[in-house]
Amino acid sequence: MTAVPTGAHVSPIARRVVAFAIDLVVCLGLAGTVLALTDEPWYAALTLLETVVAICVWEARTGRTVGNSVLGLRTVRVDGLLAPGIGRVARRALVVGAGFLVAAVGQWAVVASGAWDRSPRRQGWHDAFAGTLVVDVSRRSAATAGRGTPAPRADPWGPMPVAGPATFPQVQDVAPRPGPARPVPAAPAPVAARPPEDAASRPRRYVLAFDNGQTFTVSGTGLVGRRPESAAGEHHDAHLAIDDAARSVSKTHLEFGVDGTGFWVSDRGSTNGTTVLTSSGDPLDVLVGMRVHVPADGSVRVGERQFTARPAAG
C-alpha cells in the first residue's frame, strides 16, 4: 500500500534536502568547534558521534530534528501520524550512512531519492527501508486553522426531495363514464421513525482519571501540565494542573480535545514526551503538534504520570 495517512501532507523533496543540510551544519559545526578548542581530532569525532546519536533519539521520540523543526517537517510512521521510534530511525540512518560512503556525497542522493518515487508517499530509499514518511506539519496546521465549520451531513431519514409540477399539454375536459365504485384503500400503519446516526450520539464529555488520584470531567479542548497556559491567540476550555512532585510533567505538557471520533491528545513540546498506551501495552509516542486519538481501553502517559479517558456517564 502507498496511501498517505489521513490528514498528512507529504513534504516537498527540496525542503527535506534543506532540513538535512541544516542538521549536517549543526553536527559539523559542533565538531569543528570542539576541534578548534582542543586541537584533538578524537574529541571532535566523539562530539560528532554524540550529536548524531542525540538527534536520532530526538527524531525517534518526536519526529523532529533541528532541520525538521526549522522547516516545519516531521518524520512519522507510514501506518499513522506517530513518532517513528528508535528502530525505524536507526534503519533510516543506516541507509543515509551507507550513502555517505559513496565519495562522501551519496547521502545527498539518498535524501533526495524521494523525487524518483511516483507514489503519493514520495519516500526516499531510507524511508522505504525504514517504513517512515516525511510530512509537512506547517501546511497541516495552516489547513486546520483555515477550515470553516463543516457542512452538516445529510439526514438519511429526512424528507425526500419532491419534483416540481410537470407540464402537460392541455386536453379538452371529457365527462367520465359511470362505472362501479372502487373500494377505498386502508390507511397504512404508522412506522416508527429511525433516529439519525450522527456525531451527536457520540460522547462529548470525558472523565480523565490520573494515577495520583486527580479526576477531571472535560469537554471541548484543554491543556494538561504543572501550570498550563494557552499561547497568545489561543483559547482552551480547560487548564488541568497536575500534581507532580518529580516535575516529570512539563509546565504545558499536552493539549487534548473531544471531536466526532473521540478523545485526542497532542504533545506541546514537552520535555519527557507524551505516549498513548494501547490495551496490549504497545506504546505510541505522540508527535508534537499532531493529534492522536486515545483508544477506548487505552491510557496516556505524561512524564511519570498516567491517566485514562473514559466517556462520562449521562
Map out the domains of the chain with their CATH numbers.
Answer: 13-145 (no CATH), 202-311 (2.60.200.20)
Give residue 201's pLDDT band: very low, low, confident or very high (50, 70, 90). Answer: low
Instruction: Locate 83 and state its grid cell.
Output: 513518532
Give residue 272's pLDDT band: very low, low, confident or very high (50, 70, 90). Answer: confident
- Count Cβ neighbours within 10 Å for each residue of 36-66 and write b for 16 or more, e otherwise: eeeeeeeebeebbeebbeebbebbbbbbbbb
pLDDT at 145 over 50: no
Please state the φ and ψ torsions of residue 14, each to the nearest 5 degrees: -60, -40
Give residue 75's pLDDT band: very low, low, confident or very high (50, 70, 90). Answer: very high
pLDDT at 124 over 70: yes
pLDDT in tens, 208-254: 999 999 999 999 999 999 999 999 999 999 999 999 999 999 999 99
Distance CA 275, CA 270 (A): 11
What is the reported pLDDT for 180? 56
What is the reported pLDDT for 205? 92
Hey, what amino acid is at 180? P
Report residue 56 CA to chain centroid gap: 21
Angle between helices 41-62 and 13-38 (to 10 degrees): 150
Higher pLDDT, 157 or 62: 62
Distance CA 204, CA 241 (A): 21
142: left (phi over 0), alpha (psi -120 to 50) or beta: alpha
Q: What average pLDDT does the structure give for the chain?
A: 82
Q: Which of the given ranges, 116-125, 191-200, 268-277, has the highest pLDDT on average?
A: 116-125
What is the reported pLDDT for 85? 87
Whose CA is closest to 267, among 78, 63, 73? 63
DSSP string, 214-254: -EEEE-SEEEEESS--PPTT---SEEEEPP-TT--S-TT-E
pLDDT at 27 over 60: yes
The three-class DSSP label of residue 266 is strand
Higher pLDDT, 158 or 189: 189
What is the reported pLDDT for 169? 42
Residues in the chain: 314
For strands 221-225 and 238-241, give the pairing. parallel
Give residue 94's pLDDT band: very low, low, confident or very high (50, 70, 90). Answer: very high
What is the reported pLDDT for 156? 36
42-50 mean pLDDT: 96
Q: What residues contact residue 135 under an 8 Å CB cut-off, 6+ apart?
A: 8, 9, 10, 11, 73, 74, 76, 81
pLDDT at 157 over 70: no
What is the reported pLDDT for 200? 54
What is the reported pLDDT for 6? 65
pLDDT in tens, 163-185: 444 444 443 444 445 555 555 55
pLDDT at 146 over 80: no
Q: Which helix (DSSP H) or strand (DSSP E) does residue 158 occupy?
A: none
Q: Average the pLDDT over each of 27-41, 62-76, 174-188, 211-225 and give the range with the smallest value.
A: 174-188
Share of the chain above pLDDT 90, in %: 57
